Amino acid sequence: MTAPWLFEQAQAVLATWFLGDMAGHAIADVLTGRFNPCARLAVTWPRDVGQVPIFYASRSTGRPPDANNFYSSKYLDCPVEPQFPFGHGLSFACVTLTNLRINRLEFTLGDEVEVRVDARNESEVATEETIFLFIHDVTARVGRPLMELKAWAKVALAPGKSKTVAFTLTAESFSFPGEDMEVMFEPGAFDILVGLSADRKNLLTASLRMIST
């Protein structure tokens, strides 16, 4: 459903799909605050059908969107961004992520990359939050997605509490199919992106490099 006029007017929208016999009770619990919603979008939600197909793992274009450049890749009658990115979701709590760090700036095929980020519940409501980890291969011999989901974690946070969330990536996490569709590992730069959704503007970013041995 694309209804940008509705989303612009409403403070929040509850989307439900095939909840079954207990749908009424589940929806009532969320609307009355008895249950704190923690579900997140498993798709990218377009703001217009003309954007379909739209997804966070699209390839880069030769003319990336630029509001100040008329000849860049964008629409003339609507924003290029989706209505809601993959992973979007609201709750009665507010969680912030800080202090993204990785255990190494360079790695080889035999190394593991440990990624850590601190999550804090800034509200007075207990919550569960989903944290996503994406990577971006900065330069490769074949076109790579702008973001690839490589890990995720769901963390429970009491009011005002913080937790450190850790992810472990192996060299396989940075591999991709080559021209002959065989798995390959290509030395070069990668971005690590961590956040609460695939909204690139709100992702914490760190960089590292795969080196040949």
CATH of the domain at 174: 2.60.40.10
Q: What pLDDT does residue 167 have?
A: 98
| Pairwise CA distance, residues 68 & 77, whole Å | 15
pLDDT tens digits for range 169-185:
998 999 999 889 899 99
In the prediction, which pLDDT does 43 show? 94
The residue segments making up the domain with residue 169 are 95-210
Structurally, the chain folds into a number of domains equal to: 1
Give the per-residue pLDDT at 65.
84
Pairwise CA distance, residues 46 & 2, whole Å = 7
Report the C-alpha dihedral over residues 65, 71, 74, 75, rounded to 10 degrees: 160
What is the reported pLDDT for 116? 98
The confidence score (pLDDT) of residue 76 equals 82
Report pLDDT for 17.
85
| Residue 156 covered by a domain | yes
Q: What's the predicted TM-score (pTM) here?
A: 0.92
Q: List, for the chain, all residue ranges whose pLDDT scores fall below the cut of 50.
A: none
